[in-house]
């Protein structure tokens, strides 16, 4: 039975979005802190000795802040037929958002909120369950329609001051 499950997982079409065992992958990512709005939060994105990405820092509520994020933008990729995103990660038992955009120029993005266990795990997200968001509000738009993808990222914004640490190994579509 295990062989059948592995065969099914490996035989489905996949598209690798990020693999941090390749150190140059880090060059494709940018940290955006709430300082763009006057806030004092700070996030970093760096490579661990184990070859994973580490998104870490401190969220501050000073000056109306309260978030930090990291994102990777790329040429729009057709993803029609791919239904899920998988993220291999290890969190710190805090809540995060995974965010995507169809086109980099879109003002809104789509989010999926998840909690981490403190252990290595694979988060599985149905793309059609990702909801639109713009500056913390839900615009009157439908959920994500998986046809094109041009940005992926993570955000922490739990409405409290906290330190955080999210280690990421791989992100892929299936």
Map tokens 């992100």 to a residue: 171
Q: How far apart are CA 128 and CA 158, in angstroms?
A: 24
Give me the half-sphere count of Cα atoms (radius 13 Å) on the Cβ side of residue 35.
Answer: 8
Taken in order of first residue, the domains within the chain and their CATH numbers are 17-173 (2.60.120.430)
pLDDT of residue 6: 47
pLDDT of residue 36: 81
Q: How far apart are CA 136 and CA 65, in angstroms?
A: 12
Mean pLDDT by 10 residues, the chain (174 residues): 47 83 94 92 97 98 95 96 97 98 96 98 98 95 96 97 98 97
Predicted confidence (pLDDT) per residue in 98-124, tens digit: 999 999 999 999 999 999 999 999 999
pLDDT of residue 7: 46
Hey, what long-range contacts does 49-53 have (CB within 8 A, 24 or more apart)?
A: 51/20, 51/21, 51/23, 51/169, 52/20, 52/21, 52/90, 52/167, 52/168, 52/169, 53/18, 53/20, 53/25, 53/26, 53/29, 53/167, 53/168, 53/169
Q: Which phi and psi (to 5°) does residue 13 adopt?
A: -60, 140
pLDDT of residue 1: 52
Predicted confidence (pLDDT) per residue in 83-96, tens digit: 999 999 999 999 99
């Amino acid at each position: 039975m295990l062989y059948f499950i592995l065969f099914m997982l490996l035989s489905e079409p996949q598209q690798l979005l990020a693999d941090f065992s390749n150190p140059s992958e880090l060059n494709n990512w940018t940290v955006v802190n709430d300082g763009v709005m006057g806030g004092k939060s700070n996030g970093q994105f760096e490579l661990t000795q184990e070859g994973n990405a580490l998104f870490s820092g401190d969220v501050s509520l000073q000056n109306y802040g309260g978030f930090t994020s990291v994102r990777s933008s790329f040429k729009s990729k057709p993803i029609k037929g791919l239904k899920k995103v998988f993220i291999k990660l290890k969190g710190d038992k805090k809540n995060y958002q995974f965010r995507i955009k169809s086109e980099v120029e879109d003002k809104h993005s789509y989010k999926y909120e998840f909690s981490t266990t403190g252990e290595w795990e694979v988060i599985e997200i149905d793309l059609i369950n990702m909801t639109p968001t713009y500056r913390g509000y839900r615009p009157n738009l439908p959920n994500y329609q998986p046809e094109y993808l041009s940005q992926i990222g993570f955000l922490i914004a739990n409405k409290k001051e906290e330190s955080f640490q999210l280690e990421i190994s791989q992100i892929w579509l299936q």
